[in-house]
A and B are shown apart, each in its own frame.
Chain A
Amino acid sequence: MTATEPEAAYPLPQPGPTAESSRLRARGGLATFIRRSPLSAFWGCIAAAIIVMAIAAPMLAPFEPLKSDFRAMTKPPNERHYFGTDQIGRDVLSRVIYGSRASLTVALGAVLFGTTLGALWGLASGYFGGRFDIISQRIIEFLQSFPDLILAMAIAMALSAGFGTVIVAIAITRIPFGGRVIRAVVLSLKEMSFVEAARGLGASHLRIMLRHILPQCVAPYLILATTHLGVAIIIEAALGFLGVGIPPPTPTWGNMLADSLNAGLVPPWWLVLFPGLAITITVLAFNLLGDGIRDILDPRLRGAMPRRAAL
């Protein structure tokens, strides 16, 4: 994603809106969003529902996710345990619900640290250019020479297992992408006349970066961040599946899938189906929400391909 014509792509910020007009615009924006891409709006609601599920997990889960019921071990779905129970009698539905907490926390943390750090790095390296930019580009290239799961595995294995470790491991794999995309945007932005004008007025580098260029980077950042949420959820699940994720007994979707393979030669189908379904639906929701945000924020797609690009 390179912004060749940022002027057309990202409209300049309007002079200070009043509280009321911004509220009106926000409501109008939401209505436009729903009208323009109903599918994205629908999946946006699902994403919101998953977030609510993660927050309200203790209220929603019918059982304790860690409590074993030795009278109901490896039971298929029934009217007491809707998703069945695992090999030590823990309720799968409750574990899936609690699993959303781990997934979302890790994904959000990884994107907040990784994508943001990468974006700020890209902002600085694109703005200053020169030797700093060249060195930054090389480092980013080295980081990108690893398929992201492999780098995350190595980091997660090197630091001993835990919540923070997994977040750091995934965040580091997100840095190069943020850096690349935002740098490309900044490179074209800094040639524009409003930046020159600000410099002519004697604004400092820091002020130009934060007040004039940063606001223009918000749209590409948001698009990038929503896509990265989906990627981060899949990487987290893969790490859990490979045994370098958040250590058990914490219920995570990846851990549950890994556990199901330990249940015997043939894993019971309900132990495989439901956690995977949860991953798929969550990633689908964030991806489609991201597509919708892209349609709204990137008017190049809106103008050129009216109904084609909108899914």
Chain B
Amino acid sequence: MYSYIIRRLVFGAFTVIGVSIIVFTVLRILPGDPLVAIFGPEGFTKLSEAERARYMAELGLSDPLILQYLSWVGDIARGNFGRSFFRAESVGEMILRRGPLTAEIALLSVILSWLAGIPVAIVSALRPNSLGDNVARFFSILFLAVPGFWLGMLIVLAALFLFGYRAPLTGPSLWADPGGNLQVVIGPAVVLGLGQAAYIARMARSSLLEVIREDYVRTARAKGLSRRPVISFHALPNALLPVITLSGILLGFVLAGSIPVERAFGTPGLGYAMFTAVRERDIFVMQNLVFLYAVVFVLLNILVDLTIAWLDPRIRYR
């Protein structure tokens, strides 16, 4: 197990380095002139030569690319996420202030997706092609197609028209004001949770259908064990392994999905900060946030892999 953990971590470290190179390539090298990315093509043409040179020197953009890359990585390693081009607050402070809200949304949405997806999958798998199964399948296919941010806009509108309710615009922390915090978090979490629940239900259903046909399940039934304990203690634990893996992958997509969804709800989380950075063409903030999201995604996947290895000895010893 320990050798597996170490192997996985070394692998993860390599991935993080690769990710940092891709982020740097995309946001620093791809735009050609970073000033074009910051000011936009029109704004760029309005700058005088002297201004351009001054900005370039001020932002450290006239150094060779490899030096720029190294200084960026060094900054991040020292925990210095830099400063927005447009705002006083440093990116590090912003992440600490807004991050918890988005993390809460992501976590809550995963919990909701399991609460909604797994029971549906069990009902579907035990009675394939029943009315319940078909209804469940219809909804899972529907939620795969509905864009989360649109669903969010509809929910905001419906709450406003039907109940005259609008979620508070500030995001109080969970400890200071649990009620207010929940009002802000619940909308995005439900939308993102439903999207994941569709995948979870689909995966859990097919995985459960496979496991139910295994010999050991039949043996347990033949020994006279009744249906319910066989399903919940024999079949389900094995059927859930691929679902855990899927859930980890989906968490990454929740991180991404939370950007437009937070925009739709007006949630003051990290996703909204990302939206603002994109709108303001703030490549430095963008660079650090994209890197942060990717690193979190990589770490989550390592965590999921380790969980699976811990639960399933077949993987550990391979």
Contacts and interface: CB of A to CB of B under 8 A. Distances in A.
A141 interface: yes
A210 interface: no
Contacts of B263: 241-242, 261
A138 interface: yes
B18 A159 contact: no
B314 to A, nearest CB: 16
Given A238-B147, A284-B145, A311 B137 contact: yes
B199 interface: no
Contact of B27 (A141, A154, A234): A154
Contacts of A279: 147, 150
A29 to B, nearest CB: 24
A257 B150 CA distance: 8
Contacts of A284: 141-142, 145
B22 A276 contact: no
B306 interface: no
A145 B297 contact: yes
Contacts of B234: none
A173 to B, nearest CB: 10
Given A147-B252, A288-B141, A158 B31 contact: yes
Interface residues of B, number: 54
Interface stretch (B76-84, B92-100, B222-230, B254-262): B254-262
Contact of A143 (B22, B41, B160, B209): B22
A280 B281 contact: no
Contacts of A142: 15, 18-19, 21-22
Interface string A248-288: 00000000010011000011010011011001110110011
B290 interface: yes
Nearest to B150: A276
Interface string B248-283: 000011011101100110000000001100110101
B147 A267 contact: no
A84 to B, nearest CB: 14
Interface residues of A, number: 49
B154 A146 contact: no
Nearest to B252: A147
A147 B142 CA distance: 22
Interface in A112-152: 138-139, 141-143, 145-151
A150 B27 CA distance: 12
A157 B37 contact: yes
Contacts of B116: none
Contacts of B41: 160
A280 B294 CA distance: 28
Contacts of A288: 141
B293 interface: yes
B173 to A, nearest CB: 25
A280 B145 contact: yes
Contacts of A147: 252-253, 255-257, 293-294, 297
Interface in B128-152: 128-129, 137, 141-142, 144-147, 149-150
Nearest to A148: B256
A305 to B, nearest CB: 8
A145 B275 contact: no
Contact of A241 (B149, B161, B209, B294): B149
A237 B129 CA distance: 34
Contacts of B303: none
Nearest to B18: A142
Interface in A225-248: 230, 234, 237-238, 241-244
A308 interface: yes
A153 B278 contact: yes
Interface of A: 138-139, 141-143, 145-151, 153-155, 157-160, 230, 234, 237-238, 241-244, 257, 260-261, 266-267, 269, 272-273, 275-276, 279-281, 283-284, 287-288, 291, 305, 307-308, 311
Top 8 A-B pairs ranked by shortest CB distance? A147-B256, A276-B150, A142-B18, A149-B256, A283-B145, A284-B145, A158-B30, A147-B252
